Each structure stands twice: as C-alpha cells, then as structure tokens.
Amino acid sequence: MGKPNCFRLVLPYRAFYMIATTEAEAEDWVTFLRWRLENNPR
C-alpha cells in the first residue's frame, strides 16, 4: 500500500483500505475491528 499507518480489511465481497492519521490511531482501529469480528453475533 506504500503509505504510513495504512491497513487493509479483506472481506469475501470487498476489500477496504484504511489510512489512519497516526500509528496509535491505526492500532486502535485494528483492535476495534478484531474485537468486532470476534464478537459478531451471527
């Protein structure tokens, strides 16, 4: 991706590219997304 504080969320139907302002913000997003995926009531 080539940008600092950038990460990708890949789902079966789509990929999302996220760019955070800081490394800490990127870590917060990743932590939240992992928690949400692990605790998603299906």
Each residue's pLDDT tens digit, 13-39:
999 999 999 999 999 999 999 999 899
Q: How far is 34 from 28, CA to CA, in rounded Å?
A: 10
11 lies in some domain: yes
34 lies in some domain: yes
Q: How far is 42 from 31, CA to CA, in rounded Å?
A: 20
13 lies in some domain: yes
Residue 42 pLDDT: 65
The answer on pLDDT for 5 being more than 80 is yes
Domain extent for 33: 6-38
Q: How far is CA 23 from CA 12, 14, 16, 27, 28, in A?
A: 27, 24, 18, 6, 9
Residue 1 pLDDT: 63
33 lies in some domain: yes
The answer on pLDDT for 41 being more than 80 is no
25 lies in some domain: yes
1 lies in some domain: no
Query: pTM for this structure?
Result: 0.71
